[in-house]
């Protein structure tokens, strides 16, 4: 391994790549377009927060106001208080085409105070929650939020002191927004797509045009060539990550941090997919076949690895399929490192990715020959 030759070859490969607009588009621009589209479609605040219409029959008592404020700060519902004059809330909701409502009964404050003071008049307070069963996820969100805040109240009253605030009870997956998953997902997407599309092409058309033969006439070795190629795609992965992070946070306010733990994925991931692309291209007889094989490998991974939607939302039968795809571990690891701050999960994913990268890069070195027998 001669670093002078790697340094000599790297800029030539980079120039060839940069001067081909399609490659640059696929690796850097396309993921940004995707984050803008998917971010805009799924992340607007109206759809991620369910509007909850509240009829407060307890005359804005301190307890009821505190409860509603706790509900509002869960971030998953937006509380809109209507006047008790509207009468039957169920009818009101139906007339105004609303799907979720909550009635706080009269005496809410009094009952809570009685319970806090352990008076005999303490008894269950019934909160009426109206949801539309046909919008299942919204119904779940509303019921979950109300239940969560209620639990908080219950604990507070039972314990006598405010130890657990209602909002904390609801810290769970709901607090992560779609855009938070989308940023690591699309970083994974570009880690996959940039090498796969061009390496399949490189390994098949370069073979056809005898460009590897041309390189083999120089002292550059296959290992040096591969190293320079890895370096280029690692660089692309870093650039793409910065772009996606920038757009995700600046445009959509994503809560994603580029932690140290995310960096190894941006190194090992490109190595893995450069190797897979190289193998796919070198087992193919023609560039056309190579393109087809490349797509067969790339497309399922592109959609089933948690790129656009978290795998946790997949139907259970599809989850094992996702777990069989190498990109899943890259994206799961990036999520763990950048969104959840879950180091142990990230280490596990990194281990899987690294093992795969070692296997595939060794296979690529083994099967990918410059000279012909």
Partner 1 sequence: MQEAGAWPGGTMTNSIEVSKLVKTYGSLRAVDGLDCDVRTGEVFSFLGPNGAGKTTTVEILEGLRRKTSGEVRVLGFDPWTQLDQVRSRIGVTPQDFHFFPKLTPREALRLYANLFGVKPDVDELLARVELQDKANDYYDTLSGGQHQKMGVALALVNDPELLFLDEPTTGLDPRARRAIWEVIRHLKLEGRTVFLTTHYLEEAQQLSDRIAIINRGRIIATGSPVDIIARFGRPERLRVVGDPALADRIATLGLHVERVDGAVEVELRSKADALAILALVASSGLRWDRFSIQTDTLEDVFISMVGRLEDGSTPGAIPEEAGK
Q: Give residues in contact with partner 1 (CB under 8 A).
A: 4-5, 7-9, 12, 15-16, 19-20, 209-211, 213-214, 216-220, 371-373
Q: What are phi and psi of 335, to 5 degrees?
A: -60, -45
Q: How far is the CB of 22 from partner 1 (least distance, A)?
A: 11
**Strands lying side by side in the sheet with 50-56:** 77-82, 50-56, 100-104, 128-131
Q: Shortest gap between Cβ of 41 and partner 1 (angstroms)?
A: 36
Q: How far apart are CA 224 and CA 7, in angstroms?
A: 9
- For the CA atoms of the chain, what is the radius of gyration? 28
Closest approach of partner 1 to the CB of residue 16, in Å: 5
Q: Of 158 and 217, which CB lies nearer to partner 1 in the complex structure?
A: 217
Distance, CA of 77 to CA of 46 (rounded, Å): 10
Least distance in angstroms from the C-beta of 7 to partner 1: 8
CA 26 to chain centre: 20
Cβ proximity to partner 1, 4 vs 118, nearer residue: 4
Q: Least separation, in Å, of the C-beta of 323 and partner 1? A: 39
> Which residue, 49 or 216, has its beta carbon nearer to partner 1?
216
DSSP string, 129-193: EEE-TTSHHHHHHHHHHHHHHHHHHHHHHHHSS--S-HHHHT-SGGGS-HHHHHHHHHHHHHHHH
Q: Are strands 100-104 and 128-131 parallel, antiparallel or unpaired?
A: antiparallel
Residues across the chain: 373
Secondary structure (3-state) at 56 = strand
Residue whose CB is less far from partner 1, 7 or 355: 7
To the nearest 10 degrees (0 to 180), the angle between helices 222-252 and 263-282 is 130
Residues 338 and 345: their CA atoms lie apart, in Å, by 12
- Please, what is the minimum distance in Å from the beta carbon of residue 304 to partner 1? 34
Question: What's the CA gap between 43 and 252, in Å, rounded?
Answer: 7
Report yes or no: 248 and 190 within 8 Å, Cβ to Cβ. no
Between 78 and 216, name the residue whose CB sits nearer to partner 1: 216
Residue with smaller CB distance to partner 1, 14 or 106: 14
Q: How far is the CB of 298 from partner 1 (least distance, A)?
A: 23
Q: Pick from 230, 240, 241, 302: which is nearest to 267 by CA?
A: 230
Question: Is 121 or 218 the residue whose CB approaches partner 1 more closely?
Answer: 218
Report in angstroms how near the CB of residue 208 gets to partner 1 at its nearest: 8
Q: For partner 1, which is the closer residue by CB, 111 or 284?
A: 284
Both tokens of 171, joined, read 């810290």
């Amino acid at each position: 391994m001669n670093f002078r030759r790697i340094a000599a070859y790297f800029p030539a490969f980079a120039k060839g790549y940069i001067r081909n607009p399609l490659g640059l588009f696929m690796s850097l621009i396309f993921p940004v377009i995707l984050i803008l589209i998917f971010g805009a479609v799924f992340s607007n605040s109206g759809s991620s927060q369910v509007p909850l219409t509240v009829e407060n029959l307890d005359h804005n008592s301190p307890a009821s106001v505190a409860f509603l404020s706790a509900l509002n700060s869960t971030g998953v519902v937006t509380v809109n208080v209507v006047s008790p004059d509207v009468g039957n809330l169920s009818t009101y909701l139906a007339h105004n085409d609303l799907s979720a409502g909550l009635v706080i009964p009269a005496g809410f404050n009094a009952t809570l105070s009685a319970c806090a003071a352990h008076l005999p008049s303490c008894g269950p307070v019934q909160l009426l929650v109206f949801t539309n069963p046909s919008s299942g996820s919204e119904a779940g969100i509303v019921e979950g939020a109300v239940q969560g805040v209620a639990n908080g109240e219950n604990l507070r009253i039972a314990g006598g002191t405010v130890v657990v605030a209602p909002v904390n009870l609801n810290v769970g997956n709901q607090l992560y927004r779609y855009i938070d998953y989308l940023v690591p997902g699309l970083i994974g997407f570009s880690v996959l797509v940039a090498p796969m599309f061009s390496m399949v092409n490189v390994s098949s058309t370069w073979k056809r045009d005898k460009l590897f033969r041309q390189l083999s006439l120089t002292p550059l070795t296959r290992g040096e060539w591969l190293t320079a190629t890895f370096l280029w795609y690692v660089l692309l992965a870093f650039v793409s990550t910065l772009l996606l992070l920038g757009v995700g946070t600046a445009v959509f306010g994503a809560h994603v941090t580029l932690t140290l733990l995310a960096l190894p994925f941006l190194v090992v991931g490109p190595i893995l997919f450069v190797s897979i692309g190289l193998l796919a291209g070198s087992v193919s007889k023609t560039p056309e076949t190579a393109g087809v094989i490349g797509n067969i490998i790339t497309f399922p991974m592109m959609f089933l690895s948690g790129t656009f939607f978290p795998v946790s939302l997949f139907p259970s039968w599809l989850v094992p399929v996702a777990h069989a795809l190498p990109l899943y571990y890259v994206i799961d690891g990036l999520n763990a490192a950048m969104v959840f701050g879950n180091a142990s999960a990230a280490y596990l994913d990194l281990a899987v990715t690294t093992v795969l990268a070692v296997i595939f890069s060794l296979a690529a070195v083994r099967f990918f020959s410059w000279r012909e027998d």
